[in-house]
Amino acid sequence: MKSEHGSKIIPTSQGFEQFLMSEPNVALQSEDLDKAFAFIKQNMQGEIGLWGETEVLDQLKNWALSQKPAPTPTPPIQPIPGGAAPIPPVPPTAPAPGRREQAKDKVQFINNVEDAKDILLRLIELDMETIIDTILE
Is 43 in contact with 59 (CB distance < 8 Å)? yes
What pLDDT, on a 0 to 100 scale, did the predictor assign at position 5? 42
* Residue-wise pLDDT tens digits, 80-122: 666 666 666 666 677 777 888 888 888 888 888 888 888 888 8
17 and 55 fall within a common domain: yes
User: Domain range for residue 119?
Assistant: 82-137
47 and 99 fall within a common domain: no
Is 121 a member of any domain? yes
Is 19 a member of any domain? yes
Is 135 in contact with 127 (CB distance < 8 Å)? no
Cα separation, 11 vs 2, in Å, equals 6
* Residue-wise pLDDT tens digits, 50-74: 888 888 888 888 888 888 877 777 7
- The fraction of the chain above a pLDDT of 90, given in percent, is 0
Number of H helices, E strands in the chain: 6, 2
Section 4-29 average pLDDT: 71
13 and 53 fall within a common domain: yes
Backbone angles phi, psi at 62, to 5 degrees: -60, -40
pLDDT top residue among 126 and 1: 126
| CB neighbour list of residue 136: distance below 8 Å, 6 or more residues apart | none
Is 72 a member of any domain? no
Handedness of CA 35, 13, 53, 41 (dihedral sign): negative
53-67 and 13-21 helices, crossing angle to 10°: 60
Is 93 a member of any domain? yes
60 and 105 fall within a common domain: no
Domains contained in the chain, number: 2
